[in-house]
Amino acid sequence: MLQGIRVLDLSRVIAGPYCAALLGDLGADVIKLERPGRGDDLRALRGSGRMSASFAAVNRNKRGIAVDLQKPEGARLALDLARRADVVIENFLTGVAEKLGLGYAAVRAVNPSVVYASVTGFGQTGPLARKPGYNTIAQGMSGLMALTGMPGDPPTRVGGSVSDVAASYMTFGMVNAALVHRFRTGEGQHVDVSLVGASLGLLPDPTAIYFDTGERPKRAGNRNLNLSPAEAFQAKDGFVNVVLLNAEQWGRFCLALGDPVMETDPRFADNPARLANHAAFKARVEAILGTSSVTDWVARLEAGGIAAGPIYEFHEVFEDPQVRHLGLVAEVDQPGVGKVKMLTFPGRASGTPPRIDRPAPLLGQHTVEVLGELGLSRSEIDRLAEAGIIVLGEQP
């Protein structure tokens, strides 16, 4: 889809790099610029100084160069790359790119049609614009943690780097929309994405309910406070998620459970009654589900036209036949590590399917190649390396 689009990735860790990797999955030519020495901080996660599994996963389909942006010649090289780029992605603290001479105004001056994406904790303007932002901080300040956890328990962090990935997806969508706008009008623009904004954007329904009622939403664990059943129930060997969205499904649910009396019991006969008598309702359902396995109940409920699914432990996810069918995991031959497994692009396309064609680069692996494309001679590249402005990099 994005063949011919050139992306300069100045970002590090997850939020910016994962967006750039997704663009690369769709065919964009992505150049990742890292500082000489230790490179992206994610390289050293879990003690691996060269190539952590996490770095490999969010930096596939990129070419890598090592340039010292603190040195004027290094910053000028980056600006030359930005001059040729369709997209620039950065996640410096607000104001740092400008100090380096690589802010939006400087890049726009040499490349008016550029789509320039900034990913920060709190955005480019406002009282917290210069505050560092990380996944857990964004989760806490966006309301995600306030809504997560069991009733009576403290706020709970959502697993994974959810806020970072939410910002990645938001940036990915806005960059592609900005490219469409550019193709129509010739105009570039500055895309401003914050972790806190992207995280709050995951909560449109509780936010709408809060503004409608004025009531603060409560932590509800694995249930929906406005709909029942819409929650996790314990079966004999694990947990089953069940969701009913309309009254017509209630009779089918009771029939699948083999409890026709419950259908007309006034304590449970409609959604408001089940919400009012939730503890008794859940105990009755779990007494029935406890007689058989998760697999059995999911099959029975689905046969009865009820939406149901198992709650997997993480290792079980990758054994699910549908996950396997969708091809959501790829094995990549990664220089410096060997074969590694990682998530693929999470969607499909019939004409131009996403692909992982290139493993994550070693630090500075493509410095000579990329600078040669800028027109630098090998002697000039060697001079820059001797001056410590660039690193020629490791080779596979």
164 is catalytic: yes
227 neighbors 244 (Cβ within 8 angstroms): yes
**pTM assigned to the model:** 0.94
Q: What mean pLDDT is predicted for residues 327-348?
A: 93
Q: What mean pLDDT is predicted for residues 356-369?
A: 96
Whole-number pLDDT of residue 108: 98
- Strand arrangement of the beta sheet that strand 390-391 belongs to: 189-194, 115-120, 87-90, 6-9, 29-34, 62-67, 390-391
Residue 157: pLDDT above 70? yes
Residue at token pair 């806020």: 163
Residue at token pair 């997997």: 312
The percent of residues in the chain predicted with pLDDT above 70, rounded, is 99
87 neighbors 28 (Cβ within 8 angstroms): yes
Evaluate the omega torsion of the peptide bond into residue 260 and state whether it is cis, within 30 degrees of 0: no
Segment 221-250, tens digit of pLDDT = 999 999 999 999 999 999 999 999 999 999
> One of 25, 68, 164, 192 is an active-site residue; which one?
164
Q: How far is CA 240 from the centre of its chain?
A: 26
Segment 255-288, tens digit of pLDDT = 999 999 999 999 999 999 999 999 999 999 999 9
Whole-number pLDDT of residue 118: 98
Mean pLDDT (the chain) is 96
Residue 393: pLDDT above 90? no
Residue 5: pLDDT above 70? yes
Residue 173: pLDDT above 80? yes
Radius of gyration of the chain (CA): 25
Whole-number pLDDT of residue 47: 62
Q: What mean pLDDT is predicted for residues 136-161?
A: 97
Whole-number pLDDT of residue 168: 98
